[in-house]
């Protein structure tokens, strides 16, 4: 059960009104751990919530590193065993920010222990793991527990507003969707072999890391599911230097100080939505000069919209029903109080940033817990569906073999 804590009261001289607290325990403390910590630490200071999140404990295997993370990010305690973190009485919600190979074990155990769960994307490293997680979430929902996947880009005000425009019929019947997600941090062949480049830890490469976001956003904005794919994937650099202290000989590593890359560097695929609309996707960590370039465009019979993460407070919109002499894409600055999430932030025109998506994510999850909404979106079932799309992409890419053209 959530704890209780007094407030200052609603008016001068009023008796303090008890406010329930929600104890959060987070497993993982690196990049995503820092981002999620920012969300949990900030959300109650910005939004008027029915539950007040409390940063109860953070977990990680390295004792010194996890203690440092706890101090830096404001967690009350540190644990070196995720099982101990789950067992804590002051933890009612478990936030999983670990590599994908541990998502299923931690999430299933946390749900079995009666905790609510937030799990970073992609939900798992395989469809089988995701199926087990979705089944555990369904059983837990019958007990009043909440399980949600951390697709944070849904929480950009511009993306939430784009979904509203499509749902309101402003684009009419959909025709095309294009999503590209481009990064360049693997262009250097001497970049070391991190866990993200090993299938046993990451599940896949750019496909799962970036493509999962692209698939989820396309389905979220359109309100439709993908039902077929045709794909290509490639690993351009197949061996990389081992990090300092890594083993030099194992099933995962080749001889010497270099190890095999066992995931994709890039994925390209076309797809079809349930309505018949077509889509194309590109995810790569090999696009020199592109740091975190996520772009989405949707074309319909009555108009189009486009979004660029590098201009994340803006949405481009074209109304094709207007006269051609004046029609064209126009910029919508998504900072008005009437736009999603903006009522709690700054005056119009004052921009938000990447970190605010994690605040909004925490807001939506706390609201779901307080309301007893055991089917928040994106649910584990939705995470499983994205995993099925990623698996279909890999299956298609394996069948699209390279051939040698016949000489003239």
- The secondary structure of 43-103, three-state, reads HHHHCCCCCEEEEEEEECCCHHHHHHHHHHHCCCEEECCHHHHHHCCCCCEEEECCCHHHH
Adjacent-strand bridge partners of 113 = none
Intervals of CATH 3.30.360.10 along the chain: 157-311+313-352+387-396
- Paired tokens of 242: 């081992």
> How many Å apart are CA 384 and CA 126, to the nearest integer?
9
In terms of Cα–Cα distance, which of 206, 202, 197 is closest to 126? 202
- Paired tokens of 70: 């706890």
Intervals of CATH 3.40.50.720 along the chain: 3-152
> How many Å apart are CA 330 and CA 316, to the nearest integer?
6
197 burial (CB, 10 Å; 0-12 / 13-18 / 19+) is: buried
- Paired tokens of 54: 């409390």
Which residues are within 8 A (CB) of 88 and not within 5 positions of it... i.e. 6 or more apart? Answer: 23, 25, 56, 57, 77, 79
Per-residue model confidence (pLDDT) at position 408: 66
Q: Are strands 258-260 and 239-241 parallel, antiparallel or unpaired?
A: antiparallel
Q: How far is CA 356 from CA 157, 313, 359, 362, in A?
A: 10, 11, 5, 10
Per-residue model confidence (pLDDT) at position 407: 72
CATH class of 157-311+313-352+387-396: alpha beta
> How many Å apart are CA 19 and CA 1, to the nearest integer?
13
Torsion of CA 132, 134, 138, 144, to 10 degrees: 110
Output the tens digit of pLDDT for each of the chain's 408 residues: 445 444 444 445 555 577 899 999 999 999 999 999 999 999 999 999 999 999 999 999 999 999 999 999 999 999 999 999 999 999 999 999 999 999 999 999 999 999 999 999 999 999 999 999 999 999 999 999 999 999 999 999 999 999 999 999 999 999 999 999 999 999 999 999 999 999 999 999 999 999 999 999 999 999 999 999 999 999 999 999 998 766 544 444 444 589 999 999 999 999 999 999 999 999 999 999 999 999 999 999 999 999 999 999 999 999 999 999 999 999 999 999 999 999 999 999 999 999 999 999 999 999 999 999 999 999 999 999 999 999 999 999 999 867 677 776
The CATH number assigned to the domain with range 3-152 reads 3.40.50.720
Which residues are within 8 A (CB) of 239 and not within 5 positions of it... i.e. 6 or more apart? Answer: 254, 258, 259, 260, 261
């Amino acid at each position: 059960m959530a704890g209780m804590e007094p407030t200052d009261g609603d008016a001068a001289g009023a008796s303090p009104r008890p406010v329930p607290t929600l104890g959060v325990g987070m497993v993982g403390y690196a990049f995503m751990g820092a981002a999620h910590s920012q969300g949990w630490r900030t959300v109650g200071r910005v939004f008027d919530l029915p539950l007040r999140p409390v940063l109860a404990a953070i977990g990680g295997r390295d004792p010194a590193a996890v203690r440092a993370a706890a101090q830096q990010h404001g967690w009350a305690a540190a644990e070196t065993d995720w099982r101990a973190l789950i067992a804590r009485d002051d933890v009612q919600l478990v936030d999983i920010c670990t590599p994908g190979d541990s998502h299923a074990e931690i999430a299933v155990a946390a749900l079995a222990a009666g905790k609510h769960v937030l799990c970073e994307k992609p939900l798992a490293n395989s469809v089988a793991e995701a199926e087990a997680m979705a089944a555990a979430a369904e059983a837990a929902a019958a007990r009043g527990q909440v399980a949600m996947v951390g697709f944070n880009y849904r929480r950009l005000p511009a993306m939430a507003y784009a979904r509203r425009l499509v749902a309101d019929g402003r684009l009419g019947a959909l025709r095309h969707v294009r999503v590209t997600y481009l990064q360049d941090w693997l262009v250097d062949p001497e970049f070391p072999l991190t866990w993200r480049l090993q299938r046993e830890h990451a599940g896949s490469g750019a496909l799962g890391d970036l493509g999962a976001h692209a698939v989820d956003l396309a389905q979220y904005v359109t309100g439709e599911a993908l039902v077929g794919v045709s794909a290509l994937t490639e690993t351009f650099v197949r061996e990389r230097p081992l990090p300092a202290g890594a083993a030099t000989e194992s099933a995962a590593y080749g001889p010497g100080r270099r190890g095999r890359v066992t995931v994709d560097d890039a994925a390209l695929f076309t797809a079809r939505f349930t309505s018949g609309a077509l889509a194309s996707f590109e995810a790569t960590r090999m696009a020199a000069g592109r740091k975190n370039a996520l772009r989405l465009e949707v074309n319909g019979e009555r108009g189009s919209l486009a979004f660029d993460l590098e201009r994340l407070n803006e949405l481009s919109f074209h109304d094709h029903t207007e006269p051609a002499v004046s029609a064209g894409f126009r910029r919508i600055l998504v900072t008005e109080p009437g736009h999603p999430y903006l009522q709690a932030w700054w005056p119009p025109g004052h921009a938000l940033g990447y970190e605010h998506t994690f605040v909004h994510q925490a807001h939506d999850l706390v609201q779901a817990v307080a309301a007893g909404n055991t089917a928040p979106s994106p649910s584990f079932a939705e995470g499983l569906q994205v995993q099925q799309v990623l698996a279909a992409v890999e299956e298609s890419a394996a069948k699209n073999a390279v051939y040698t053209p016949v000489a003239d």
